[in-house]
Amino acid sequence: MQLDVDLSTLRDMTGREPVQLAIDGSSFVPVLADLAADDKVTGTILVDYQDHVMADLHRYGALVYVARWQQTRDRDPFPDFARTEAWLTRFVHHHLRSFADGASPLDSLVLRALSDEVTPQYLVTLPTRERMADYTLVHMPDFYFERVMRNAGISEVRRTQDVRIFGAQLTRQIQALAPVSMPDFATNSQVIAAMVRRIEARGGHVAFIMLPRSGLVRTADERLFPREDYWRPFINAVQAPSLHYADVPSMKALVCPDGSHLDRRARVAFTRDLVHAMPLLSGGAAGNGRRSPRAMPPSPSEHGS
Q: Return the beta strands (E) in 152-302 as ranges.
A: 205-210, 242-244
Which pLDDT does position 291 carry in this prediction? 37
The arrangement of strands across the sheet holding 44-48 comes to 44-48, 205-210, 242-244
Contacts of 111 (CB under 8 A, 6+ apart): 103, 118
Task: Give me the percent of the chain exceeding a pLDDT of 90.
Answer: 66
Comparison of pLDDT for 81 and 256, the residue scoring more: 256
Residue 287 burial (CB count, 10 A): 15
Q: How big, in percent rounded to 5, are the helix, strand and coil portions of the chain?
A: 50, 5, 45
Contacts of 246 (CB under 8 A, 6+ apart): 210, 227, 252
**Band (121; pLDDT cuts 50, 70, 90):** confident
Burial status of residue 55 (CB atoms within 10 A of its CB: 0-12, 13-18, 19 or more): middle
SS3 of 295, please? coil
Question: What is the rounded distance in angstroms from the CA atom of residue 204 to the CA atom of residue 36?
Answer: 10
Say whether pLDDT at 164 is over 70.
yes
pLDDT digits (tens, 9 = 90+) for 78-94: 566 666 666 566 655 55
pLDDT in tens, 15-31: 999 999 998 788 999 99
Radius of gyration of the CA atoms of the chain, in A: 20
| Per-residue model confidence (pLDDT) at position 101 | 56
Tell me the sheet residues that pair with 109.
Answer: none
Q: Write the pLDDT tens digit of every residue in 195-229.
A: 999 999 999 999 999 999 999 999 999 999 999 99
In which band, very low, low, confident or very high, does the pLDDT at 276 lie, cut at 50, 70 and 90?
very high
In sequence order, which residues have a C-beta less than 8 Å from that of residue 199 and are 6 or more positions away?
35, 36, 41, 45, 205, 206
> pLDDT tens digits for 30-70?
999 999 999 999 999 999 999 999 999 887 666 666 666 66
